Structure 1
């Protein structure tokens, strides 16, 4: 991996731009789910970010932190592994700063996402076989290392280990508490665990009573589940998280791919929100956990992304029947 000294002409933009619309997403009352569960529940609409997902926050934080440190310059090419949303978030930020970007994907990346990346001019590099120990994530990370050795002045943004990832979500939790004071429960999906740990750090440092519930995928190794094939991208992981501190998490729920789809359908039919797979997982986790929650409590579900990218999979009955039934 090579870096060069920062150029004085390459600085973080302070002007009004598309990047200034990242964050400060709406928090809405999910009235139908509230009626169904008996718990006052709200949705943090991260799909309202300009790139369509919570990964916009992560991408902006990582790139602008790299620019400030002088690690990212006009001559830098960025490389990242992504199942979809992080790739789009980076494509947007890199497009604004005119930074070349290479994204490593696997066969589970959906066509809609790939079309968006191509529109941004992103170079797509695909791995076709999973790593024996780390699955497709392990294979993608191996390819990232290979590309760093081949591309001059390249840099790995490393969403899996870059502290700018959880730092971005310190603000996510700050927004939630300003929008809904005295929130009792927050349900957050897991992958890199950046969102989870950013929220956890804010809760701890501000001595909040909020309980943080992690929503992991069945077959994900993050919380020690046995690895197995999964079909819903962006939820769970084949390798342990570098950020996770289990002591800051108040509970974990493992949700199957089928339950992700069921949660997406419930969210669409009850609240008219078309969301992605991890949001469906969070909805299903909340409904399963609701009977044991404090009935006077206030609960927030972090809804990570839009559902349009899953029209050929999660919202396609033939695909669901083939893969999940």
Structure 2
């Protein structure tokens, strides 16, 4: 006799979606791939954690951690609405966590958010609020946060995870650190993209305890204010910031590299052609720096994280017309970065390295 599939849980009395806790085991446990593709120069290879292959992407780890932490402390009531600002990637993670835990999700984005990502988020049940102009100070992030506060004020019982300052954000990446430590016998260099500071803060502590001499390289975007550079309008999404999240801790990094969009695009496209695995702006940026680190220290074990896959970037990074319009196809990246003595010594306009990320000497 064939048994009928079990009925889904009934809707909550608050109108929230039913929780689907069976989704939670799908988070994490992503593969660690060895990358040898020249980017653009040959290198000995580095390890890349392929977070695009986990349900909800890399930031599902942070989203689940922030919501479960808030529920445990009584800050997030069952079925209450979750409201957050996002440039896209955390939004996908929160849409996943909202379904798994039974919470409606309202995401405050901006009109730079790709149409494909808007459709994806709405398909997953999230409601979108979009701001149409950046704030005079703080850019798109400040404008999104101002709208977020308006949404909170009109939504009774709503909870704001505050990804920029919430310690449960980095705590969500402890599982990733454990997965890396379990897979590798040794690690000399860790390369991390930096935006809200979540995954870098979550990885560095436990991996440094495992390997005390671990050298940590942060990768930021040109035009980002995170490490003392002037804030500018940025083409790249997912790394960099015009504000200063508390989760970003400059003292954790041994050096910082700023990467420009043309350099990230070149690396993304080379990865797609040569390794099949690729991603967006953050992936291209960390891949370029990880390949350089592996080349600079032959024999060193180098690892990084590819935060997502290529799909949301088909109309930007992988679109020839977009890249030509924005001047992203003209030159092959240099073999290495320009060096500056401290973050305020000169404005980074392309690949730039600083070995004193904590500030001026």
Q: Does 1:308 align with 2:305?
A: no
CA contact under 8 A between 1:170 and 1:199: conserved in structure 2? yes
1:196 to 195, 200, 205: 200
Q: Secondary structure at the match of 1:216?
A: strand
Give the structure with higher Rg (CA): 2
- Following superposition, the deviation at residue 14 of structure 1 comes to 10
Over the residues paired in the alignment, what is the CA RMSD in angstroms? 2.1
Aligned residues of 1:39 and 1:299 also touching (Cα < 8 A): no
Q: What is the number of equivalent residue pairs in this alignment?
A: 312
Cα distance, 1:29–1:287 mapped onto 2, change above 3 Å: closer
Q: Partners of 2:79 and 2:30 in 1: how far apart?
A: 33
Partner residue of 1:251 out of 244, 248, 255: 255
Counterpart for residue 337 of structure 2: none
Partner residue of 1:72? 76
The match for 1:123 is: 127
- Distance of 2:211 and 2:37 partners within structure 1: 31
Aligned residues of 1:76 and 1:100 also touching (Cα < 8 A): yes
Residue equivalent to 2:167: 163
Residue 319 of structure 1 corresponds to which residue in structure 2? 322
The correspondence of residues 91-106 of structure 1 with structure 2, limited to 5 A, is: 91-106=95-110
Q: TM-score normalized by structure 2? A: 0.82
Structure richer in helix, relative to its length: 1
Unmatched 5+ stretches in structure 1: 1-9
Q: Contact (CA 8 Å) 1:40, 1:297: kept in 2 or not?
A: no
Match of residue 282, structure 1, among 286, 301, 307: 286
The CA deviation at 1:270 is: 1.6
CA-CA distance at 1:208 after TM superposition? 2.7
Cα pair 2:104 2:126 within 8 Å, conserved: yes
Unmatched 5+ residue regions in structure 2?
Answer: 1-15, 329-361
* Counterpart position of 2:244: 240
Alignment partners' CA distance in 2, 1:312 and 1:121: 23
Write out per-residue CA displacement over residues 68-121 of structure 1, whole angstroms, 9 at most, x where no aligned residue.
Answer: 222212241110000001101101110222211110001111111111111122
1:299 is displaced (CA, Å) by 0.8
- Hey, what's the Cα distance between the residues in 1 that align with 2:249 and 2:195? 14
1:263-302 correspondence to structure 2 within 5 Å:
263-292=267-296, 294-302=297-305
- Residues 200 and 248, structure 1, Cα contact 8 Å, conserved in 2: yes
Quick one: which of 42, 45, 54 aligns to 2:50? 45
CA gap of 1:309–1:42, structure 2 versus 1, over 3 A, is same
Residue by residue over 1:189-224, the C-alpha shift from the partner in whole angstroms, topping out at 9 and shown as x without a partner, is: 111011111112213444532211111000011111
Distance (whole Å) between structure 1 residues aligned to residue 45 and residue 129 of structure 2? 44
Kept in 2, the 8 Å contact 1:58–1:164? The answer is yes
